[in-house]
């Protein structure tokens, strides 16, 4: 007992001494790049594209100074999957947790690293990250992981466009006969691995790799297959997973999701093996009566490269019969920590989502309401209101606001009335997946076979005319109270991660305990970028 306490004390000490500030100075600029041979302007960092991977350790504070040198676009950087304990104003969602970072403005993000695994950062200015402003984040553990590996690799998957988003978005939003069923999203021009074409992943024989897979595309679902190699999933969206051997199933990822995978290479180097990323033609692209042009190639190929001097073979033809059966159902994965189902539920929120039109343009509704961008970020509305008023959803405007109490166990039921699938992402949390249907599995009508220790992640796909049920607790353990002022900020977006659908407003805001936010101090640089913002929150005392 004494020894355990001593070990814990020492461990705490070691963690404290190793924890550090990781400082990055970012100048967001236009860069010309030709990842698939077609040159176009992309959004890069410090004159570079692809944007850099961030490697940090748990306990670190990531400090990023961002200067917007784009000249003609605003920005805002979101740290996807990171919980931002105490730092919710650093979540990077313009209109929700900050004002837009306009050209020639500068601001600082501080992101405390209190989770391990694979994450990513991306612009949360609507329509922007598919133009290039995105990159992986790997948070390394300070203790050995419960499985063995020799080396780490990152593999990003993306659907890629030759035309810049502002033009594609205006085409997508133009009134058309398809507007009322969700519009017709533009077809991607290429599939990229690590933001490049024909990517060659150099590997050594008889070596076990921990592969951090990040799906940072814009729209499509991605199927990932590595020819003739077995894979074992050990992590999903930062959650440690009981090793799950994949064969004979395939991996399917939505935009926003990450997987950590173990792969052991062969003991001989006599050939190279293709890696296949197939975009989800059947379940996504062929919806809304879209015709796919002859010769359109939804496939991307990269290679596990044992020997550069050997040929790079094409992918064998893979027959995927029924996507619901041939792909791993991520709901069946089991978190290593076996966190029990959280219950009882204090608040159940039912979201019925569907497509509609607004002024002839495609739009989405949640419970018949279409999100309208508020005048000021929702976080600032909550801070400015007195505690009682802050709990009244109507003060936040038409942002699909859902106010929840501190500590509530919240259950979200999402019924997808649309005939396409959507990947839903909740900021600031991972959530337990209570259930999810197959395509056309119908709307919520009670619970099925609920796991006593459900799968958790931060992005989940809902199938056409189906539903999911997720749960999370709207709080932090009490031991996190580190001052008399509760700065545990909880204004979180819940949205479809398809960037086209963010443009047409498939989103809601979960407002947690806004009656506890009134003494919050927003950093002065965050206030300053709001320019002529209302004075009622401007004179807040500076944090830095
Ligand atoms: C950012 O990069 C641009 C383009 O290279 C350059 O003109 C500008 O001076 C840089 N700004 C800062 C603050 O580094
Ligand atoms: C912004 O400037 C970049 C670089 O000159 C250009 O490629 C892009 O088309 C411009 N975007 C808009 C919306 O004007
Ligand atoms: C980090 O998260 C763990 C739970 O995963 C919690 O116990 C701990 O207090 C958190 N620390 C901070 C500083 O938020
Ligand atoms: C899609 O095609 C079906 C069958 O041809 C037709 O009934 C339906 O009206 C079409 N939908 C739209 C939005 O055009
Ligand atoms: C894409 O890959 C799949 C699976 O191998 C194959 O069936 C299909 O023909 C490929 N499509 C094209 C256009 O090459
Ligand atoms: C795929 O399998 C699921 C589950 O058995 C079933 O509900 C669905 O109808 C099948 N879809 C097709 C296209 O066969
Ligand atoms: C949404 O509108 C439909 C059709 O007008 C109606 O049947 C339904 O009850 C409404 N739902 C809500 C949550 O208001
Ligand atoms: C419920 O799920 C568990 C775990 O997946 C499984 O072992 C059990 O057979 C299921 N029960 C029913 C009634 O489907
Ligand atoms: C804000 O601080 C004051 C003074 O310390 C305190 O009385 C009040 O309860 C605090 N309000 C909130 C919402 O934390
Ligand atoms: Cu969507």
- The closest ligand to the CA of 513 turns out to be 9
pLDDT of residue 476: 53
Is 19 in the same domain as 165? no
Same domain assignment for residues 135 and 216: no
Contact 171, 185 (CB under 8 A): no
Question: Which among 439, 448, 465 is the best mutation to test ligand 6's pocket, defined by most ligand atoms within 8 Å of the CB?
Answer: 439
Strand 239-245 to 190-193 pairing:
unpaired
Is 274 a pocket residue for ligand 5 (Cβ < 6 Å)? no
SS3 per residue for 506-543: CEEEEEECHHHCCCCCCCHHHHHCCCCCCCCCCCCCCC
- Asked whether residue 367 falls in the same domain as residue 507, the answer is yes
380 plus 322 within the same structural domain = no
Does 188 share its domain with 284? yes
Q: CATH no. for residue 259?
A: 2.60.40.420
User: Ligand 10 centre from 367 Cα, in Å?
Assistant: 16
pLDDT at 116: 96
Q: What is the pLDDT of residue 519?
A: 78
SS3 347: strand
Classify the C-alpha dihedral 473-476-478-479 as positive or negative.
positive
Per cent of the chain over pLDDT 70 is: 92
Q: Is 278 in the pocket of ligand 5 (CB under 6 A)?
A: yes
Q: What is the mean pLDDT of the chain?
A: 90
pLDDT at 459 over 80: yes
- Do 175 and 305 belong together in one domain? yes
268: helix, coil or strand? coil
**Which tens digits make up the pLDDT trace of 494-507?**
999 999 999 999 99
What's residue 230's pLDDT? 94
Residue 285 lies inside a defined structural domain of this protein: yes
Ligand nearest to the Cα of 256, by number: 10
Rounded Cα distance, 389 and 119, in Å: 35
CB burial of 473-503 (b: ≥16 within 10 Å; e: otherwise) equals bbbbeeeeeeeeebbbbbbbbbbbbbbbbbb
User: Smallest Cα–Cα separation from 66: which of 81, 55, 51?
Assistant: 51
Q: Are residues 191 and 84 in the same domain?
A: no
Instruction: Provide the pLDDT for residue 151.
Output: 98
The rounded distance, in Å, linking the Cα atoms of 466 and 156 is 29
- Residue 457 CA, ligand 8 centroid: distance in Å: 21
In a domain, 537, yes or no: no
Q: How far apart are CA 480 and CA 490, in angstroms?
A: 14
The confidence band for 317, taking pLDDT boundaries of 50, 70 and 90, is confident
Instruction: Report if residue 541 sits inside a domain.
Output: no
Are residues 324 and 357 both part of a single domain? no
Residue 544 lies in a domain: no
Let me know whether 218 and 363 are in one domain: no
198 and 74 in one domain? Answer: no
Rounded mean pLDDT of 304-321? 91
| pLDDT of amino acid 170 | 92
341: in domain: no
Residues 217, 104 within the same domain: no
| Tens digits of residue pLDDT in 382-427 | 988 999 999 999 999 999 999 999 889 999 999 999 999 999 999 9
Residues 203 and 123 in one domain: no
User: Looking at the 3D structure of the chain, how many domains does it have?
Assistant: 3
Structural domain includes residue 210? yes
- pLDDT above 90 covers a percentage of the chain that reads 77
Residue 532 pLDDT class (50, 70, 90 cuts): low
Contacts of 52 (CB under 8 A, 6+ apart): 45, 135
How far is Cα 464 from Cα 423, in angstroms, rounded to an integer? 11
User: Cis before residue 477, ω within 30 degrees of 0?
Assistant: no
Residue 322 clears pLDDT 60, i.e. is over it: yes
- pLDDT band at residue 375 using 50, 70 and 90 as cut-offs: confident
Position 423 in a domain? yes
Is residue 13 classed as helix, strand or coil in its secondary structure?
helix
d(CA 247, CA 518): 52
Task: Give the pLDDT of residue 533.
Answer: 52
Query: Considering the domain boundaries, does residue 536 fall inside one?
Result: no
Domain span including residue 174 = 151-332
């Amino acid at each position: 007992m004494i020894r355990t306490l001593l070990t814990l004390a020492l461990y705490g000490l070691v963690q404290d001494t190793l924890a550090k500030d990781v400082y990055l100075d970012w100048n967001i600029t236009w860069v010309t790049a030709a990842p698939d041979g077609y040159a176009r302007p992309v959004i890069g960092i410090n004159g570079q594209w692809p944007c850099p991977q961030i490697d940090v350790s748990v306990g670190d504070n990531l400090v990023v100074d961002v200067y917007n040198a784009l000249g003609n676009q605003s920005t805002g950087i979101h740290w996807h999957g990171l919980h931002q304990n105490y730092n919710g104003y650093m979540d990077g969602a313009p209109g929700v947790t900050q004002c837009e970072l306009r050209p020639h403005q500068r601001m600082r993000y501080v992101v405390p690293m209190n989770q391990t695994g694979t994450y990513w950062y991306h612009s949360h200015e609507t329509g922007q990250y598919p133009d290039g402003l995105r990159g992986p984040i790997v948070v390394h553990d300070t203790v050995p992981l419960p499985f063995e590996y020799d080396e780490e690799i990152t593999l990003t998957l993306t659907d890629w466009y030759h035309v810049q988003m502002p033009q594609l978005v205006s085409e997508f939003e133009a009134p058309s006969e398809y507007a009322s069923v969700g519009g017709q999203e533009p077809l991607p021009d290429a599939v990229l691995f690590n933001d490049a074409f024909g990517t060659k992943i150099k590997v050594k024989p008889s070596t076990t790799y921990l592969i951090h897979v990040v799906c940072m595309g814009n729209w499509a679902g991605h199927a990932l297959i590595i020819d003739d190699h077995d894979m074992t999933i050990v992590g999903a969206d930062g959650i440690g997973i009981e090793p799950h051997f994949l064969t004979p199933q395939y991996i399917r990822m939505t935009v926003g999701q990450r997987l950590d995978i173990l792969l052991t290479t062969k003991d001989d180097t006599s050939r190279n093996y293709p890696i296949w990323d197939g975009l989800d033609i059947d379940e996504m692209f062929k919806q809304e009566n879209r015709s796919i042009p002859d010769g359109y190639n939804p496939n991307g190929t990269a290679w596990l490269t044992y020997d550069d001097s050997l040929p790079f073979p094409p992918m064998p033809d893979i027959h995927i019969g029924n996507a619901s059966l041939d792909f791993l159902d991520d709901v069946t994965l089991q978190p290593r920590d076996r966190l029990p189902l959280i219950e009882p539920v204090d608040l159940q929120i039912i979201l019925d989502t569907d497509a509609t039109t607004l002024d002839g343009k495609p739009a989405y509704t949640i419970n018949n309401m279409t999100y309208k961008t508020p005048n000021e970020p929702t976080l600032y509305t909550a801070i400015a209101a007195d505690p009682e008023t802050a709990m009244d959803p109507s003060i936040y405007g038409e942002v699909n606001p859902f106010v929840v109490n501190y500590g509530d166990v919240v259950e979200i039921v999402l019924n997808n009335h649309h005939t396409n699938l959507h990947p839903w992402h909740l900021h600031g949390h991972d959530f337990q997946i209570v259930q999810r249907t197959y395509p056309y599995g119908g709307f919520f009508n009670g619970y099925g076979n609920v796991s006593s220790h459900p799968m958790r992640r931060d992005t989940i796909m809902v199938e056409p005319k189906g539903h999911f049920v997720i749960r999370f607790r709207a709080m932090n353990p009490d031991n996190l109270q580190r001052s008399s002022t509760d700065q545990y900020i909880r204004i979180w977006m819940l949205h479809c991660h398809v960037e086209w659908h963010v443009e047409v407003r498939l989103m809601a805001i979960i407002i947690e305990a806004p009656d506890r936010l009134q003494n919050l101090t927003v950093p002065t640089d965050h206030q300053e970028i709001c320019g002529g913002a209302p004075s009622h929150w401007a004179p807040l005392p500076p944090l830095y």
